[in-house]
Amino acid sequence: MTDTYVSHLECSKTGETYPVGEVHGLSRAGYPLLVRYHLEELSRHVSKSTIADSNEDGFWRYAPFLPVTRPENRISLGEFRTPLIRLRHSITSLGGIEENVMVKDEGRLPTGSFKARGLCLAVSMAKELGLKHLAIPTNGNAGSALAAYARRCDLQATVLCPADTPEINVREIQQQGADTWRVNGLINDCGKIVNQGKEKTGWFDVSTLKEPYRIEGKKTMGLELAEQCDWKLPDAIFYPTGGGTGLIGMWKAFQELKEIGWVEGPLPRMVAVQASTCAPIVKAWKQGKENAEFWPDASTVAAGIRVPKAIGDFLIIRAVNESNGFCIDVSDDEILSARDHLSKSEGVLLCPEGAATLAAYKNALKDGQVQQDDRIVLFNCATGLKYPLPPVSGALDKDAAIDFSKFGNGQRFES
Ligand SMILES: *Cc1c(COP(=O)(O)O)cnc(C)c1O
């Protein structure tokens, strides 16, 4: 046993408590469970300099804030702290101020997305609790993170993807050792099958928010961001929101840090960004509701946020409201032109979900929802390389006379 500070688990809706050290899915009332800590005790034993002196480079440096008890259960595939990239000229042309906007590039993590954080924690806890077989519905990135971390510690993984999940993602999942299936439906249809199979197969359901630990993994984004900003948090965080684990997790991190006095003042405004063609949270928030309705015919180029119904909808909306943030949607055209703008003007290639946050920032700035001098962090959640890119038209015939006047025009691809 080492120093873990977990006190209990708690139903996010009713507050009912559950003991640690047992396998839990949803609460008895059917809501996500949150992990609670003895924060006062933690703060007596752990300081900012304990963290600074940690020889862990990745998120395990925040182990005191995490639920894994035994160090041998901390699985790793070489995580590290992801960079904050300050944007320059690309942001002035959108009306912003250079250096005030940063991209946190999560695409550098193992399996190429921030799903690594959540699934690493979920799998580590599954190992600790003696589970053998994990199953997940996925739009791609969660499945590949589950596959990789499960194989890393010899657990079995079954992954169900919507039939139209990009080929690259489905193959990646299978290549990392998971039992991989396409389903002729959306992610919620995959989720139903995972749920139905629990008794027959004995697998454990690691769907978004249906077990307590993926949130804790995503919480490390907030802890890491705080440490990287020298414990002075930004004014607003734009987060591409599907199931909302990351937004909920970061907000939980900030509250825990505030409670122990490591951060002060107003916490960042949490901004939930969705695609206009799948925006259930934005719709509910605008109507002043706590729960979102199922969004029919969900489709968007930003596959990671194609979630027509989120079980943690009320937790997302609660975090947005408590932080004085807002919800905003952007069209697929805006997403792709934001991606093209940033990569072509500044060499930062975002995934479409990450690009959605840039498009949302641009609109929010125009509408006065954020100000030019606000310090902003945009989350790029996956590597842009996993997504289809436009074809290249330039071709040269080495045997013909070459017209050198046509080279070096960086604007060639500009629309
Ligand atoms: C899963 C995913 C999201 C959404 O994350 P949540 O925390 O579940 O809302 C956004 N972008 C990418 C690339 C993803 O894989």
Question: How do residues 323-365 score in pLDDT, each as one tens digit?
Answer: 999 999 999 999 999 999 999 999 999 999 999 999 999 999 9
CA–CA separation, 96 and 365 (whole Å)? 8
pLDDT band at 413; cut points 50, 70, 90? very low
pLDDT confidence of residue 412 = 45
Going from the Cα of 97 to the center of ligand 1, the distance in angstroms, rounded, reads 27
Q: What is the pLDDT of residues 87-96, one digit of tens each?
A: 999 998 888 8
* Model pLDDT, residue 414: 46
Which residues partner with 17 through β-bridges?
A: 10
Write down the pLDDT at residue 96. Answer: 86
Burial class of 228 by CB neighbour count within 10 A (0 to 12, 13 to 18, 19+): middle
Distance 302 CA to ligand 1 centre (A): 9
Task: Check: CB of residue 308 under 8 Å from CB of residue 278.
Answer: yes
Residue 165 has pLDDT above 60, yes or no: yes
Residues 6+ apart with CB under 8 A from 407: none
Q: Of 297, 53, 10, 68, which Cα lies nearest the Cα of 162?
A: 297
How many other CB atoms sit within 10 Å of the CB of residue 235? 16
pLDDT of 21 reads 93
Element (H, E) at 285: helix 280-286
Output the six-digit token pair for 155.
């657990």
Tell me how far CA of residue 317 lies from CA of 187, 280, 357, 361, 377, in angstroms: 21, 11, 17, 19, 19
Query: How many helices (H) does the chain have, and how many strands (E)?
Result: 13, 13
Which of 389, 64, 52, 375 is CA-nearest to residue 219? 64
Give strand pairing partners of 383.
350
Read off the pLDDT of residues 186-195 as tens digits, 9 standing for 90 and up.
888 999 999 9
Query: Ligand 1: which atom is nearest the Cα of residue 208?
Result: 8
Q: Which atom of ligand 1 is nearest to the CA of 141?
A: 15
How is residue 150 written in tokens?
């499960």
3 pLDDT tier (thresholds 50, 70, 90): low
What is the predicted pLDDT for the residue at 406?
Answer: 86
Task: Report CA(319)–ligand 1 centroid distance (Å).
Answer: 17
CA–CA separation, 115 vs 75, rounded Å? Answer: 14
Region 259-277: mean pLDDT is 96
Q: What is the pLDDT of residue 94?
A: 86
Query: Above 90 in pLDDT, residue 267?
Result: yes
Q: For residue 300, how far is the Cα from the chain centroid?
A: 17
pLDDT at 99: 87
Percentage above 70 pLDDT, the chain: 98
CB 204 within 8 A of CB 131: yes
CA within 13 Å, CB half, 242? 26
Task: Please give all residues whose beta carbon lies within 6 A of any atom in ligand 1, as ranges.
Answer: 113, 115, 141, 208, 240-246, 304-305, 351, 353, 381-382
CB burial class (10 A; 0-12, 13-18, 19+) of residue 288?
A: exposed
How far, in Å, is the centroid of ligand 1 from the Cα of 45?
34
User: What is the pLDDT at residue 388?
Assistant: 87
Q: Among 103, 109, 115, 117, which residue has the most ligand 1 atoms within 8 Å of its CB, making it the best to mutate?
A: 115
Kindly report the number of other CB atoms within 10 A of residue 262's CB atom.
Answer: 18
Q: What atom of ligand 1 comes closest to residue 354's alpha carbon?
A: 11
Query: Residue with the nearest Cα to atom 1 of ligand 1?
Result: 304
CA distances to 66, 106, 204, 365, 388 from 384, rounded to whole Å, are 29, 10, 31, 24, 9
Query: Which CATH topology does 84-110+213-384 take?
Result: Rossmann fold (3.40.50)
Tens of pLDDT, residue by residue over 197-247, are: 999 999 999 999 999 999 999 999 999 999 999 999 999 999 999 999 999
pLDDT of residue 4: 86
Q: Label each residue of 65-95 as H, E or C.
A: HCCCCCHHHCCCCCCCCCCEEECCHHHHCCC
- Residue 410 has a pLDDT of 52
What confidence tens digit (pLDDT) does each residue in 369-410 have? 999 999 999 999 999 998 889 999 989 999 999 999 889 865
